[in-house]
Structure 1
Amino acid sequence: MKHIFLIALIGLSSVLNAQQVFHDKDAEVRQVGDFHAIEVSSAIDLRLSTGSENALAVSAPDAELRAGIRTEVQNGVLKIWFESKKWFKGKAGARVYVAAKNLSRLRASGACDVTVSGELNVKELSIDMSGASDFKGTVKANSINAELSGASDINIKGEVKNINIHCSGASDFKGYDMIADNCKAQASGASGIRLTVNQEISAVASGASDIHYAGDAKMVDVKASGASNISKKSAT
């Protein structure tokens, strides 16, 4: 009985601590192992931050829905999804908070929203958004590789030395406040790319897509076809 009571107290403490840290009355802390990548799906709202240690908490309007949010580390990948039998009931209001110590890859699919709290500081980062998923936040990195498809959006600020961007299927990369030294950009299928580049940019646009850049970059290997446009942003 004492053992059961102690477990209950630990569980209650985790809930209360999470509620205080995240200012979320429904938050509950979970243990998480080491990971370098995150894969999130099932229309979950992911709040992401840089931390000195990896940490995780889940939030939903009631305990049953919180239990339906699955979090599991497999081969260094933190996988976050909603249990299938609770999908339609629980997808609204499902939120996961993650602090990552060493993040190198982020993949979101199935109408997820990823929001960075503060500034995400990484060496290299691969961002893959698909199925109407969105990313918003500030990132500082040496290199970024961004893949967007299926009407997904990235709204990003920060600084990066080298960035590769590939947008397809009516996706948008909105990054005039992302300052890059060098950029390789490819847009297709009515997609759009916006960012600031100061050294070199190479760009390919097709299928009624647009690539616009600010900054002093030299254009190299530029090709636009099929009612597409590649141009420097006009000074205002």
Structure 2
Amino acid sequence: MHPSDQQLSDVAIHHLRGCPVTKHSIRVASDVFGPNLGSLKGKTVHRPSSHVQPHTDPVPPEILARHRDVILATDIMFVNKIPFLITVSRNIRFVTITDVPNRQLPTIEKELLKIVHLYQLRGFRIASMLCDPEFEELRPTFPFLNPCSADEHVPEVERMVRTIKDRVRSVYVTLPFRHIPRLMVKRLVANAVLWWNALPAPDSVSDVHSPRYLLVGNELTYDKHVRLEFGSYVSGDMSVGIDIIFLLAFSFT
């Protein structure tokens, strides 16, 4: 009936004649196999999570003064036939990724407006948006649109698509699953982008600050973001009241 380790030790030692299990064996089993799964699922109560303390640092003024005008490259990429809208800014090297339900222009326009607004909130201006010809009809909304010719592609975003897919495949082959649902694929792609933005890029405007810091205003923290690997199977409350989940990733914001 899933007693505690202390109760189990008392039963084995004092109340169950002929039991070969010792108190030491129980401690070793707890270390090797972890806490009792039945007790975790049946006895764990919800704990209120700590309040999020919003803290956003401003963009360093020297970077904002020299790189206020941003050239943004955008495209549509596919992972397992799931479309994603991807953007990458030249020099800043900040990447956004959004899974879109379709490739219709109203959908793309809505998501691009969110991204442009994100840059504006941090004091940047989109001077030019490099894209494929399929985005041409969005010029009334984005006058700075700069489509390439029919037989060309935008090199910055094409290279970033390859980088993200390489990282996604590298994680996917290490997962202990033969198949994963669409939601997990989406979060896996988002996780790849999250960690790209978390570290200073070799060709970025700063060797100290990450692209995430410049566009979001904060860095990742060890306690919150490096607790478990992507795809880890979790039981218990993990101090935030969860039961059994797949550890997913955060979005780019």
Larger RCO: 1 or 2 (CA < 8 Å, sep 6+): 2
Q: Which has the higher helix share?
A: 2
Larger Rg: 2
TM-score (norm 1): 0.22
Which structure is higher in strand share? 1
